[in-house]
Each structure stands twice: as C-alpha cells, then as structure tokens.
Structure 1
Amino acid sequence: MRTLTLATLITLAALPAAASEYTPAMQSYLENNIRNWVQSPVLVEAIASQNSQTQGFDQAAIDAMDTRWRAEVGTPDSSFTNQVLNNSAADFLREQVEKSGGRITEVFIMDAQGLNVAASSPTSDMWQGDEAKFQMTYSVGADASHFGEVELDESSRRYQAQISLTIVDPDTGAAIGAMTVGIDAEALM
C-alpha cells in the first residue's frame, strides 16, 4: 500500500512539469496562428450582440440555459444548440478549423457571462463561466490568456490542449468575452 501511494505521488508530481512543456508551443501557436483572426468583426459583433441580451441574467437563468443545452446536445431536437452552431460567427470559426489543417480541433467564443455565443462544433456544456478558460481570461482583463493542460476532450474526443484568451471591443479596449481554441496535442510536439 505504501509503495502504491508513493508511486502515485511521484506520478502526480511529474504531471505539472509535463503540462508546462507545452506552454512555449502553445504561446507560439497563439501568437502565430490565432492572434491574426481573434478580433475579427464577425466575432466581436456576435459577442456584443449576445452581451446586450444576457447582461442582466442571474445565475438561475444561466443554469437553466446550461441545463437545456446539456439535455439537447446529441439529440434530434437541437433548436437551442443550433443558435450557437448555425450563425455567421460559427461559420467563421469552422473556417479557421478547416484552414488549420487538423491542428485546431474546436473553437468557441463566449459572452461576458461565459455563455457560448458561437462554436465550430457542439460543446458538452453552454456555460463556461465556472471554468478556468473563462475565469483566467475575461475575468482577468484585455490581455489575458490561459493555456490548459493536455487532456482528452469530451466534445472532440481527441487529446488536446486549450488556448483561451480575452476578446476585447476594438473601440474601447474593454473585455467583452473570451475564446477557446482546442489544439491537437500532436500539433504541439
């Protein structure tokens, strides 16, 4: 029993170091492949539009939307999820996935509440506000970015790392939402 506990501790201690090995590659990918399209007007306008609708939502309203999303994902009745998956911003995001040649596995944008605005493919939940991808970007400010660990993604079913960053209003420089880009782990090696 003691050997198993020690082995587990050694394994767990090694994980953060392994995850940080990807940080330089993720930073490079962000600067060279994502920054040039993150402030596209179609994304900024979609977030601003949804912010005007959701700005007064309380946690109960957010939870109700997230519950409805989770119940609908993967079912024939997708009227609610289709609002996020079938719009001009989602089309733009799918173009970025296609242009990446398989390096980007998914991409989605969130409003100031952490709710999905547009996505290249369905996410497992609608509300990202309780996750680091949102809390370490939008909540931090205009220049914030967050690099997630490499893990098996529930939505894309691939090993990926997530690069998340704040999206700002180009006129004011104020944070209006966030974006998460899933990168295939092999592309980071």
Structure 2
Amino acid sequence: MKFFAIASLSCLFTIHSVHANDFLDELTALANGRIAEVASSSEVVAAVKSQNETTGSYDQAKIDSLDKTWRSETDAADQPMIDMVLDNPLSAYLADVQEGSDGLFTEIFVMDGKGLNVGQSDVTSDYWQGDEAKWKDTFLVGKGAVHVSDLEEDESTQTLQSQVSVPVVDPDTGAAIGAVTFGVNVEGL
C-alpha cells in the first residue's frame, strides 16, 4: 500500500510539472510584454519611488510589525491599513488593468524595495512579500528578471493560474526599485 501512495504522489508531481512547463513560454512572453508595460508605467514607477522614500529606512522589526497588523486585518471588520492601500491611486490603476484583461489577470500587486505592498487590485494575505521568490527573484536580480511560479488551482474560480513577476525599474537609473506580480489565468492564454 505504501508503494501505491508513493507512486501516486510521483505521478501527480509529474503531471503538475508538465502543466507548469506547458505554459512557461507564453507566461514569459506575457511578462516581457503586457506585464512589463504595466511595471514600467508612470503610475507604478511614481508610487514605488514615493513609498521607497518612506520605507527605505525600515528595519526587519518594523516590517514584521506591519505585516502582523496586515494579517490581523484580513479577517477583521475594521481594516484601516488594508483600506489605505486599496484606496490609493495605484490600486485603482491596477484594478482597472485587471478589469480590462477579460479574466486573464486574477490579481495584481506592486511591491517596494523592501517587498512591502504599494498597491494591489485585491487584498493579499500578507503585506510583506520580501521573503518570497516573487520578490527575491525579480527585485534582487534586477532589470530583465522574470519569475514564473508553479501552476495552482484557484479554489474560488476553479481555474489554473500562475503568478508572474518582474522588477519595477527606475527609467532614469536602470536600477530595480520594486517588483510587480500578476496572477495569470493560464486558461486565458
């Protein structure tokens, strides 16, 4: 019986890996096209630069405290920190981009130079993304970096999606100043 369970897990992993690789070319092209355009928009660049001026001096204790507050608000009736981010002009811009994608984009969020949310189309489960590959493999690598996550099934929509991330680059210096992540419904490619 143990052999069957191991064989079944191996089979699932192989199927999952094949599906993830099946969309890699299309997701990379999307990252270098439409997603890069949004990442380099004046709305995104200006908002990230502005937030970096505030958060650039934050230490890990401050970041952890903010993330803890955010996480506590995700299930609360009163959400002042989340509302402040969702109600900002960048979040409105990202919501418009998502809405105009005809279901291709399931979420969009922008992170600053510390990995903290700057704007988002929907609420994220946490405020600090700086410990995750979506930020590390883009912001820390710099211009031209692309991170494509494994495929996951979205339980609420029953669609297959992948997160695609690229750095936000300062057009004046060419340096990475943040990152952006798009949830992509691969069935819409």
Matched residues, number: 188
Map of 2:12 onto structure 1: 11
Map of 2:139 onto structure 1: 138
Map of 1:2 onto structure 2: 3
Distance in 1 (CA, whole Å) between partners of 2:97 and 2:76 is 26
Per the alignment, in what secondary structure is the counterpart of residue 20 of structure 1? helix
**1:40-189 residue pairs with structure 2 within 5 A?**
40-153=41-154, 159-188=160-189
Residues 85, 120 of structure 1: 8 Å contact kept: yes
Per the alignment, in what secondary structure is the counterpart of residue 152 of structure 1? strand
Q: TM-score scaled to structure 1, two decimals? A: 0.92
> Over residues 111-153 of structure 1, what are the superposed CA-to-partner deviations in whole Å (9 max), with x where a residue is unaligned?
0110000001100111111111001100111211101111135
Residues 164, 181 of structure 2: 8 Å contact kept: yes
Residues 124, 154 of structure 1: 8 Å contact kept: no
Per the alignment, in what secondary structure is the counterpart of residue 35 of structure 1? helix
> Over residues 54-82 of structure 1, what are the superposed CA-to-partner deviations in whole Å (9 max), with x where a residue is unaligned?
11211111111111001101422111011
Structure 2 residues without counterparts, runs of 5 or longer: none
CA RMSD of aligned residues (A): 1.9
Cα distance change of structure 1 residues 124 and 158 upon mapping to structure 2, 3 Å threshold: farther
Q: TM-score scaled to structure 2, two decimals? A: 0.92
Paired residue type of 1:61: K
Distance in 1 (CA, whole Å) between partners of 2:185 and 2:101 is 10
Residues 141, 175 of structure 1: 8 Å contact kept: yes
Residues 109, 118 of structure 1: 8 Å contact kept: yes
Cα distance change of structure 1 residues 75 and 159 upon mapping to structure 2, 3 Å threshold: farther
Per the alignment, in what secondary structure is the counterpart of residue 129 of structure 2? coil
Which stretch shifts more, 170-179 or 153-162? 153-162
Structure 1 residues without counterparts, runs of 5 or longer: none
Residues 136, 144 of structure 1: 8 Å contact kept: yes
Distance in 2 (CA, whole Å) between partners of 1:40 and 1:61 is 29
> Over residues 165-189 of structure 1, what are the superposed CA-to-partner deviations in whole Å (9 max), with x where a residue is unaligned?
000111111110000011113113x
